[in-house]
A and B are shown apart, each in its own frame.
Chain A
């Protein structure tokens, strides 16, 4: 019977309810699964981890159900995480991977932090794009990128230093210019009486 073909295991591990599904996940089962979640929520459970690794086939409508469940659980301050890495399930969930927390296996759940989220993201991207890069190639590419970045920073640093030097020189020249103007003005003032007496000829105006 299609509505009864999925095996379900519900167990508790450290305040988290683990629900494992195995077998084909048909849309006829959705009301039953939804009812089971609502009973579990009624019973005060808030943290759920759903293992779909052994699901042999799944229909699109199941994803909608999980999205609805996620919003219901989040509204009750709960959490819903999915575990799987099998292709059949991933095909259906791939476009919603940003909405539902998906982990490849139980060990990935335990390792938290930036690196873990980076790894999850990379795995998700890898599945989405179909591109897989081996570790040595990834390290080589990272080194080249870092090299480029460092060279760029060094060039910027050199340019910056050069500009600063020029600014300093410009300032010095401007100051020297002003100083010189003042000095010239004072010297002009001093020789002005000699010019008026006709002792000195005004060579500048002649030019």
Chain B
């Protein structure tokens, strides 16, 4: 009697941020259960996929048991890389290094090199076939849903082909334990029955079972697996459990397949070939990726491998797909995860800054956002500011390097169209300038009941960069206009940002000039949104004089005529001193629940405003500075890998 082949692919996955000790415990629990399952069902064969860094957490005793299983032909290793690289979003060199490092870790710990490759979320890039072959990876595993509808029901394996290179491709059926089928045999027979191909070979099914490493409910994922193993044992005359390599060795592929660049975020979801447009409609993911690309390029340009090897290892964690997809428990939507990714990148940049021995600041004029226009990057030992002179001259990223913290990483959860990395006015950047009517109140600002009379917020500024012994700065000028009555009247805005030598001080200067013969009266406002980890827990407070306001960002807070105040967040371990020459009205917005759509507040928005009366041919100037100080950090790293 012809038996059909069933391959069980176990995929333990990190479903949320887990500290290292907890990760180690849950991985060891998983391995122990796997060993016990293989003892109970000696006929079963397992294919096990995991990244190298998770394998590193398994203790040597369990590792030796896994080695034994491999020697007996019960187990086959499958690789995702050292971490789980986002193939489509990461630089190819970095992904290659990640896979090669993962292979090395597997060889050292298991004594065997992995036989195949599985990209998490079925994130497939056909151009990687060549790389996978060169790494001696014998096949790739993707979700069955990635196949074209005409061949999706076929039960066998294919040859994936691209640019003359080919690789065996296995299509898997993914099962999550809460929705696992109760009638195992019925489910398997249904899949085999859907295959209408006239094929004399044994049919082949891959059951990809997802095992969460952090279990939220009491259901044990191994319960269903144990049930499935018993069912296979019971019907051993009908089904033969196999490892992937065994099946590929003994049977022919069904045919050729071209699978385009794609990703599958949800099971059974329609395949989206334009998923990048979806990703780039959010703030921050693009900035994270651009920073990753830049840091990777810098690391690859250095020949000293003693310096770069540990830094590359850190970078592998940042390119992990779980950090670069939207999600509540992890991913770039999660403030802690996002700031964790930034902190790793900032740490690497700090090491490179030290290596290059830069003193007294650096100015870079570069296409950081890779959108065809230059960004200006001012940096010194303590701070780094990314300025978009094309869109309102605002700061779209601000790193407090001494604390490895991106303070300008608050993001707007509502996607923007058309897709772009930042959208002027929507993205939560710093120094968004508006010219408002003098009667506007704090509540109007919060509710959006105002009209911007100026055209500076999204306008292009001309710039000059300066480097002196005192530090680095950028002067930006826009000859814009302001609406008075029905007419647009000329108004010039000069904006200066500077960093003082190697100190943690950001200075800013605004100069408004009235070149006309009319008098202008309006309210000048500038908006900054800070990403602070203490915000969701109400740990951010403001101090001015002897007064302290707790739980900043939870309700509308407005204060008038301030020249000195500070914001303290002990969770992030940072204190921001504000100092201005002219008294300003300061207002902090609460984060509305609708905007946050169930996730933690994404940033503390502050609006600094002041009434301006500009006589004909006169100027108005505002000078200020923000000093950043490190405090003892109360918060812990949520994902210590």
Contact = CB atoms under 8 A, between A and B. Distances in A.
Nearest to A44: B468
B359 interface: yes
A45 B358 CA distance: 16
A7 B365 contact: yes
A190 interface: no
- 10 nearest CB pairs, A to B: A11-B362, A12-B360, A7-B366, A10-B363, A8-B365, A43-B468, A9-B364, A11-B358, A43-B466, A12-B359
Contacts of B465: 10, 36, 39
Interface string B364-406: 1111000011100000000000000000000000000000000
A7 B364 contact: yes
Interface in A10-31: 10-14, 17
Given A10-B363, A13-B357, A44-B469, 14 more contacts: A1-B373, A7-B364, A7-B365, A8-B365, A8-B366, A9-B362, A10-B465, A10-B467, A10-B472, A11-B362, A17-B467, A39-B464, A39-B466, A43-B467
A125 interface: no
A38 to B, nearest CB: 10
B85 interface: no
22 contacts: A4-B373, A4-B374, A7-B365, A8-B363, A9-B363, A9-B364, A10-B363, A10-B364, A10-B465, A11-B356, A12-B358, A12-B360, A12-B361, A13-B358, A13-B359, A14-B359, A36-B465, A39-B464, A39-B465, A44-B469, A45-B467, A45-B468
Contacts of A4: 373-374
Given A1-B372, A4-B373, A4-B374, A12 B467 contact: yes
A35 B472 CA distance: 16
A40 interface: yes
Interface of B: 356-367, 372-374, 464-469, 472
A98 B139 CA distance: 59
Contacts of B356: 11
Q: Decide if the interface of chain A is mainly helix, strand, loop or mixed.
A: mixed
A8 B597 CA distance: 41
Contact of A10 (B357, B359, B362): B362
Interface of A: 1, 4, 7-14, 17, 35-36, 39-40, 43-45
A13 B364 CA distance: 15
Contacts of A35: 464
A35 B367 CA distance: 20
Nearest to B358: A11
Nearest to A40: B467
Contacts of B362: 9-12
A9 B366 contact: yes
Contacts of A14: 359
Nearest to B469: A44
Contact of B361 (A1, A11, A40): A11
B302 to A, nearest CB: 13
A120 to B, nearest CB: 22
Contacts of B365: 7-9
A131 to B, nearest CB: 28
Contacts of A12: 358-362, 467
Contacts of B466: 39-40, 43
Contacts of B359: 12-14
Contacts of A9: 362-366
Contacts of B364: 7-10
Contacts of A44: 468-469
Contacts of B373: 1, 4
Most buried by A among B363, B367, B374, B472: B363
A45 B356 CA distance: 20
A35 B463 CA distance: 11
B94 to A, nearest CB: 20
A17 B469 CA distance: 11
B399 to A, nearest CB: 16
Contacts of A13: 357-359
B556 to A, nearest CB: 42
A171 B360 CA distance: 79
Nearest to A9: B364
Most buried by B among A9, A35, A44: A9
Contacts of A1: 372-373
A36 B363 CA distance: 12
A43 B465 CA distance: 11
Contacts of B366: 7-9
Given A1-B372, A12-B359, A14-B359, A7 B367 contact: yes
Nearest to A35: B464
A40 B360 CA distance: 14
A24 B225 CA distance: 59
A45 B471 CA distance: 12
A43 B363 CA distance: 14
A174 to B, nearest CB: 77
A12 to B, nearest CB: 4
Contacts of A10: 362-364, 465, 467, 472
Contacts of B472: 10
A40 B466 CA distance: 6
A40 B362 CA distance: 13
Nearest to A22: B366
B450 to A, nearest CB: 34
Nearest to B367: A7
Nearest to B353: A11
B551 to A, nearest CB: 42
A43 B360 CA distance: 14
A61 B465 CA distance: 23
Most buried by B among A4, A8, A11: A11
Nearest to B464: A39
Contacts of A36: 464-465
Most buried by A among B367, B372, B467: B467
Contacts of B358: 11-13
A5 B365 CA distance: 10
A44 B366 CA distance: 24
Contacts of B357: 13
B263 to A, nearest CB: 31
Contacts of A8: 363-366
A12 B468 CA distance: 9
A4 B365 CA distance: 10
B253 to A, nearest CB: 44
A36 B467 CA distance: 10
Nearest to B376: A8
B363 A11 contact: yes
A13 B355 CA distance: 12
A20 B357 CA distance: 15
Nearest to B359: A12
A25 to B, nearest CB: 14
B293 to A, nearest CB: 14
Nearest to A6: B365
A207 B369 CA distance: 120
A171 to B, nearest CB: 72
